[in-house]
């Protein structure tokens, strides 16, 4: 992987940070982006020859495009863009501030980064876009309405980009990474099961990206839950909520 270049969006902590480290270990030059400048600084200072940092909140789409473009120039190109940034919270009361923050991050910010990456890859006629969505995107949830809905949006957007690449007969690869519960701050609620440690999740994601998978569940056993969610009738699913 020497001389390969990657940009990781949402690299300040959790899965994004660990995947960035795994990419650097494999010989990638890695541009890292996130909203917490101090944490990004710690990462880039730990390995200044491997990491190039830009502190940007993807909700500010103009700043996100500027930051991505600066990283692209510093890296001298990019082969992989990995979107790990995301936000969500339980919101039974439909507090609009929570809904808006989720939409601004998971819809507007995500679309900005994914679209930017795809257009760069179109110009290069090569590239790999990978993004974390969620098993939650397969069905709605009364406890976190905008989160599940935003993840469904991301899944459909990635599928559309995959179709676009195929229509153009372009070698661009698009990977949809669908975790279940991972042991990060994003895992909220009672009765969580099959919670995957960050290290295990990051390694599985890294391997899936190397293999250029189209869709991958983290961990693999979540494919069973996904298959069930796709076929369970609404009358049964509603009782489960």
Q: Is the pLDDT of residue 191 over 70?
A: no
Q: What percent of the chain has pLDDT over 70?
A: 93
Reported as a single tens digit per residue, the pLDDT across 67-111 is 999 999 999 999 999 999 988 899 999 999 999 999 999 999 999
Reported as a single tens digit per residue, the pLDDT across 112-164 is 999 999 999 999 999 999 999 999 999 998 999 999 999 999 999 999 999 99
The number of distinct structural domains making up the chain is 1
Cα separation, 215 vs 192, whole angstroms: 23
- pLDDT for the residue numbered 193: 57
More confident residue, 44 or 200: 200
The CATH number that applies at residue 181 is 3.40.50.720
67 in Cβ contact with 33 (< 8 Å): yes
Cα separation, 239 vs 241, whole angstroms: 5
End-to-end CA distance of the chain: give it in Å, rounded.
Answer: 45
Cα separation, 152 vs 115, whole angstroms: 17
- pLDDT for the residue numbered 41: 83
The neighbour count for residue 100, using CB atoms within 10 Å, is 13
DSSP per residue over 159-220, as a string? HHHHHHHHHTT---EEEEEEES-BSSTT--SSS--SPBPHHHHHHHHHHHHHTT-SEEEEST
Residue 54 in tokens: 């830009």
- pLDDT for the residue numbered 47: 84
pLDDT class for 237, splitting at 50, 70, 90?
Answer: low
Residue 128's domain comprises: 5-240
Angle at 120 between CA 119 and CA 123, to 5 degrees: 90
Angle at 55 between CA 121 and CA 202, to 5 degrees: 65
pTM passes above 0.85:
yes
The neighbour count for residue 124, using CB atoms within 10 Å, is 14
């Amino acid at each position: 992987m020497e001389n390969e270049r990657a940009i990781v969006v949402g690299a300040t902590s959790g899965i994004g940070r660990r995947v960035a480290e795994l990419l650097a270990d494999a010989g990638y030059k890695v541009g890292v982006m996130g909203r917490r400048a101090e944490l990004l600084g710690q990462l880039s200072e730990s390995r200044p020859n491997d990491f190039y940092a830009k502190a940007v909140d993807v909700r500010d789409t103009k700043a996100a495009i500027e930051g991505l473009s600066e990283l692209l120039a510093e890296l001298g190109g990019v082969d992989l863009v990995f979107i790990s940034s995301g936000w969500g919270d339980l919101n039974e009361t439909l507090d609009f501030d929570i809904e808006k923050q989720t939409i601004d991050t998971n819809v507007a910010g995500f679309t900005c980064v994914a679209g930017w990456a795809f257009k760069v890859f179109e110009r290069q006629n090569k590239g790999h876009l990978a993004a974390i969505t969620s098993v939650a995107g397969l069905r709605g949830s009364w406890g976190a309405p905008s989160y599940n809905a935003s993840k469904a949006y991301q899944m459909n957007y990635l599928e559309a980009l995959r179709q676009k690449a195929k229509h153009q007969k372009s070698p661009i690869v698009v990977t949809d990474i669908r975790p279940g519960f991972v042991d990060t701050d994003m895992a909220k609620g009672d009765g969580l099961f099959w919670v995957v440690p960050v290290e295990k999740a990051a390694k599985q994601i890294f391997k899936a990206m190397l293999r250029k998978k189209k869709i991958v569940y983290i961990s693999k056993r979540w494919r069973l839950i996904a298959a069930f969610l796709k076929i369970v009738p609404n009358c049964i699913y509603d009782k489960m909520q």
